[in-house]
Amino acid sequence: MAKASDAIEWRVSQGLTPYAKALAEMEARADAVRRGEARELVWLLEHPPVYTAGTSADPAELLDARFPVHQTGRGGRFTYHGPGQRIGYVVLDLRQRRRDVRCYVHALEGWVIAALGEVGIEAFRAPGRIGIWTLDRGVEAKIGAIGVRIRQWVTLHGFAVNLSPDLSHFTGIVPCGIAEFPVTSAAALGLSVSPERLDSALFATFMPFLDSLGEIGLEDSAVPV
């Protein structure tokens, strides 16, 4: 895939990338970006079935550890990754943009919502609930998760979009600590969306996302990290 700009690498991994391997590579890339030794990165991939625990994870919300469980440095609680889910890891240097955590998370949500719109899924933000939501038979349901870490103003982790995962795999956890709303997918909505099609939509909507993060010289409006 071509790069959205000369400064940012787009990487698409085929098959299933082990979670621990991806985490180590992402962390190393973020360190290199921080030192000015590597380009920023958008990395699109899938994982084998795994549960990941964010920094706010409640052990009581791990209901059935049927898959490996990984502690991770991202924000949030428990989530599931597996085949049929598109993962986007985003390594950006916010020192070159607006140093604002809320702005970044809001922009990341907006990017995924815009990309889903390109493939025929009307998605939206829900007040008080981080993530990407849509209507499944008239009920609000989560189709995408957001989980980020910002270390010395370089971003790690990113988003996960449910295209055609086995939704029963989510029942081993309380997804993102929200028990009262279901999880859905493009397939559950009756839509066939390939990873390649979503990748193209993400690429097509990337520049507005990047522009929304601001330029060098904007006054900081930071949240402690």
Can you tell me the distance from the alpha carbon of 115 to that of 125, in angstroms, rounded to the nearest whole number?
14
Can you tell me the distance from the alpha carbon of 143 to that of 131, in angstroms, rounded to the nearest whole number?
8
**Both tokens assigned to 150:** 């910002």
Annotated catalytic residues are: 176
For the chain, list residues with pLDDT below 50.
1-4, 216-225
Per-residue pLDDT at 130: 85
Choose which CATH entry (3.30.379.10, 3.10.350.10, 3.30.930.10, 3.20.20.150) describes domain 8-212. Answer: 3.30.930.10
- Those residues whose C-beta lies under 8 Å from the C-beta of residue 195, and which sit 6 or more positions away, are 44, 46, 86, 163
Per-residue pLDDT at 100: 94
For the chain, give every domain's residue range. 8-212
Question: How do residues 25-77 score in pLDDT, each as one tens digit?
Answer: 999 999 999 999 999 999 999 999 999 998 888 999 999 999 999 999 888 89
Per-residue pLDDT at 215: 57
Cα 173–chain centre separation: 18
